[in-house]
Amino acid sequence: MALYFEVLGRVSESAPLTKLPLAAGEVRAGFPSPADDYLEGELDLISHLIPHPSATFYLRSRGDSMAGLGIYDGDLLIVDRSIDHKVGHVLIMAIDGELTCKQLGKIGNREYLFSANAEYPPLPLRGHDCNVWGVVTHNIHPHPPGTV
């Protein structure tokens, strides 16, 4: 299965700020530390995740072609159109009019789009009508209980 999208919309610059509690310290993957049991302040996730609201939009991913980079079916993708794309970036690109999410790379001196699933071969950009929609800056996916 390839990776397809549902365009969810743009970031609202007029939305009210939603600040959530921010715990001080770091989260350890071992035993908890009682010294870290306090709050540092508040964090607005929009301002933390989206530095360019007017150039940012959300997409919902569909498919498995980017699972090797942690982008799974149903993930919410945050895409920034203001970032100059370069090799190594994960892009949303229209290829011959169809949206895809792939990582930009090169073979020799030619640009290709690479999936993060061995079932999908690299896609050469030469010979296709290509339009970069933006750079994926974050993806958000749930961790349902009982999935570990």
Residues labelled as active-site residues: 65, 102
How far apart CA 102 and CA 95 sit, in angstroms, is: 11
DSSP conformational letter for 140: E
How far apart CA 141 and CA 43 sit, in angstroms, is: 19
Q: Quick one: residue 91, left, alpha or beta (phi over 0 = left, psi -120 to 50 = alpha)?
A: beta
- The DSSP element (H or E) to which 45 belongs, if any, is helix 45-49
How far apart CA 19 and CA 45 sit, in angstroms, is: 7
